[in-house]
Amino acid sequence: MGRRRKFTDIEKYCNKCVKWLPLDAFGENRRTASGKQDYCKTCHNAYTGSFWAKVAAYEQLLQQKWRMTPNDYLELWRTQGKKCAICGASLTLYHRDTLVRVFGCRKCLLCAVCNKGMECFRDDPRLLAEALEQVYGTANGEGGEKDKQKGAGDGANESPGKDAEKSEG
Are residue 140 and residue 162 in the same domain, yes or no? yes
26 neighbors 6 (Cβ within 8 angstroms)? no
Q: Is residue 83 part of a domain?
A: yes
3-state secondary structure of 107: strand
CATH value at residue 58: 3.30.60
Alpha-carbon distance of 147 to 151, in angstroms, equals 6
Q: 120, 122, 121, 76: which is closest to 99 by C-alpha?
A: 76
| C-beta of residue 53 within 8 angstroms of C-beta of residue 60 | no
Span 89-99, mean pLDDT? 86
User: How many domains are contained in the chain?
Assistant: 3
83 alpha carbon, distance to own chain's centre: 9
> Count of alpha carbons within 13 Å of 127, Cβ hemisphere only?
8
110 and 133 inside one domain: no
63-77: average pLDDT: 93
Q: How far, CA to CA in Å, does 142 sit from each of 9, 68, 134, 137, 145?
A: 72, 46, 12, 9, 5
The set of long-range contacts for 71-79, using a CB threshold of 8 Å and a minimum separation of 24, is: 73/100, 76/100, 76/107, 76/108, 76/109, 77/109
Contacts of residue 124, Cβ cutoff 8 Å, sequence gap at least 6: none
Q: What percent of the chain has pLDDT over 70?
A: 80
CA atoms within 13 A on the CB side of 115: 16
**Number of Cβ within a 10 Å radius of residue 152:** 9
The pLDDT tens digits for 21-64 are 999 999 999 998 889 998 999 999 998 888 888 889 889 989 99
The answer to the question of residue 6 being in a domain is no
Is residue 99 included in any domain, yes or no?
yes
Q: Tell me, what's the pLDDT at 93? A: 82
Q: What DSSP element (H or E) covers 56? A: helix 41-66
| Domain housing 147 | 124-169
Please check whether residues 128 and 164 belong to one and the same domain: yes
pLDDT at residue number 165 = 47
